[in-house]
Amino acid sequence: MPTDVLLGVVGLLVGVGIGFILYKQAAGRSAVTAQARAQQRLVEVEEEAEKKTREALTQAREEALRIRQEAEEEVKQRTADVQRKQVRLEKKETTLEQMAQRLEDKEQSAVEQQKQLSEFRRQLDELASKQKAEVERLAGMSSAQAKELVIASVENQAKRDAMTLVRDIEARAREEAERRARKIVAIAIQRVASEETSENSISVVTLPNDEMKGRIIGREGRNIRAFESCTGTSLLIDDTPESVVLSCFDPIRREIAKLTLEKLVGDGRIQPARIEEMYEKSRTEVERTIVESGEWAAMEVGIPDLHPEMLKVLGRLNYRTSYGQNVLKHLVEAAHIAGVVAAELGTDIALSKRCTLLHDIGKAITHEVEGSHALIGAELARRLNESPAVCHAIEAHHNEVEQRTLEAVITQTADAISSARPGARREALDTYVKRLQRLETLAESFEGVDKCYAMQAGREVRVMVHPDAVDDLQAEVLARDIAKKIEEELQYPGQIKVTVIREHRAVEFAK
């Protein structure tokens, strides 16, 4: 058994040794083969690197050649450009030299011409002096006198030419203005529908029977005296059946008295204490009605932001009339017209309505303050924080202040349309006759006027002039002067047309 193991071990060792020897031989052969392959690969790499180097050099030479050719071509082009520019510069230099030469020639010629002109001027001055002396000798007047004569002649001719030009311009402007004005006024009037007005300075109170008149008068007239003292009105009791008349210059006071008397008649108890009680109630009602009237007017026109005090003043105009026309209704009507006109002209409609609605507010307090209602109204508007445009339109609507804004012109126009439309106002007969007589007398006061006629209810005045004393141009000046004087001295509703007629007649008899 040990021998077998030993033999096995020896055999194993012999096998290992033989295997080791065989392995070393095989490893030696593999190392030789790998070295040979490495050397062969190194040779291949060197050959490939040499090939790429030769190719890179070839490409570099080609690129360098291409760049060189491009550079040479660019140099050639720039050289050609420089040569062309040099040629142009030489041509320009030649041209400039020629121009400089021509300028020198012209300058020399101008100097010579200046010398010739100086000589001619000297000769002309001498000739003019001789001619002036000869003209003065022949005319028998000095040069200053002749100059004055020429200036006067030119001035007269210029005046006539200017007047002719003004007449033509005014005619064209008048035609265009009348055409546009007729259109605007027609549009404004056709959108206003108002009733005719009548003059009203008294109030009539209807009674249930004639026995009530005695109760109103009272014992020994104490009731009527207390009534007139309390209300500030005159109570007229006559033979008119079942009615009495209240008279007072103040329409608000007259309205309060009317309500007081109606309440007393309805109650039946008429005595001084009862009169005072009914008067206070009526006064409260009228004051409330005044505020409501002002609010109605503002809302009707579309101006809700008026000052409360302004609404009260505006409402008082509901009891005020002008030539029979209710002033508050006139203001509302004129405000609507102003809105239409402003819309046609493309201006501020709200501002135009506001100016027109407030233009007569001064009439509500004219008996309390001295002065024109236009100026009083403007001052009131300023005190109640109205805008400067509104205040200006109020004070300028009767031309007491020169109009500076379009809204002021619209306000005056709307006022005239509302006042002058048919049926808007009525005038007492005696006042109407006196106004027409005053109109004719004023026109006849001008020099050269022969006859004068007031026509169309005072809307037009026709003036006949002496043809020998007044020429055509002077007739136009006369018409303008008469119109201006009428504006300054007369008060009238609407506008007045002044027509000056110059007629020349040649009469001869055949024998």
Angstrom distance (rounded) from CA 205 to CA 210: 12
Angstrom distance (rounded) from CA 505 to CA 208: 72
Alpha carbon 181 to its chain's center: 17
Q: How far is CA 122 from CA 116, 126, 127, 211, 351, in A?
A: 10, 6, 9, 116, 71
Statement: residue 199 has pLDDT above 50: no
CA-only gyration radius of the chain, Å: 58
What the chain holds in terms of domains, given with CATH numbers, is 202-420 (1.10.3210), 429-502 (3.30.300.30)
Statement: residue 426 has pLDDT above 70: no
Asked if 328 and 315 count as a contact pair (C-beta separation under 8 A), the reply is yes
Q: Chain-wide mean pLDDT for the chain?
A: 80
Task: Note the pLDDT of residue 220.
Answer: 81
Task: Note the pLDDT of residue 391.
Answer: 92
Highest mean pLDDT: which of 116-125, 177-186, 387-396?
387-396
pLDDT digits 0-9 by tens, 451-502: 888 876 677 888 988 888 888 888 888 888 898 888 888 777 667 888 998 8
If you average pLDDT over residues 131-148, what whole number do you get? 69
Asked if 408 and 392 count as a contact pair (C-beta separation under 8 A), the reply is yes
Task: Note the pLDDT of residue 363.
Answer: 83
496 Cβ contact list (under 8 Å, min separation 6):
439, 458, 459, 460, 461, 483, 486, 490
pLDDT digits 0-9 by tens, 150-189: 787 777 778 777 777 877 887 788 777 767 766 665 555 5
Angstrom distance (rounded) from CA 499 to CA 502: 10
Note the pTM of the prediction, 2 decimals: 0.48
Specify the range with the lowest mean pLDDT, choosing from 49-58, 106-115, 187-196.
Answer: 187-196
Task: Note the pLDDT of residue 143.
Answer: 65
pLDDT > 70 fraction of the chain, expressed in percent and rounded: 84
Asked if 233 and 286 count as a contact pair (C-beta separation under 8 A), the reply is no
Task: Note the pLDDT of residue 121.
Answer: 86
Angstrom distance (rounded) from CA 206 to CA 204: 7
Question: What single string gives the DSSP state of each residue in 150-193?
Answer: HHHHHHHHHHHHHHHHHHHHHHHHHHHHHHHHHHHHHHHHHT--
Backbone phi, psi, residue 262, to 5°: -65, -40
Task: Note the pLDDT of residue 451.
Answer: 86
Task: Note the pLDDT of residue 61.
Answer: 87
Statement: residue 315 has pLDDT above 60: yes
pLDDT digits 0-9 by tens, 50-102: 888 888 888 888 888 889 898 989 899 999 999 998 899 988 888 888 888 88
285 Cβ contact list (under 8 Å, min separation 6):
259
Statement: residue 198 has pLDDT above 50: no
Task: Note the pLDDT of residue 197.
Answer: 39
Statement: residue 195 has pLDDT above 60: no
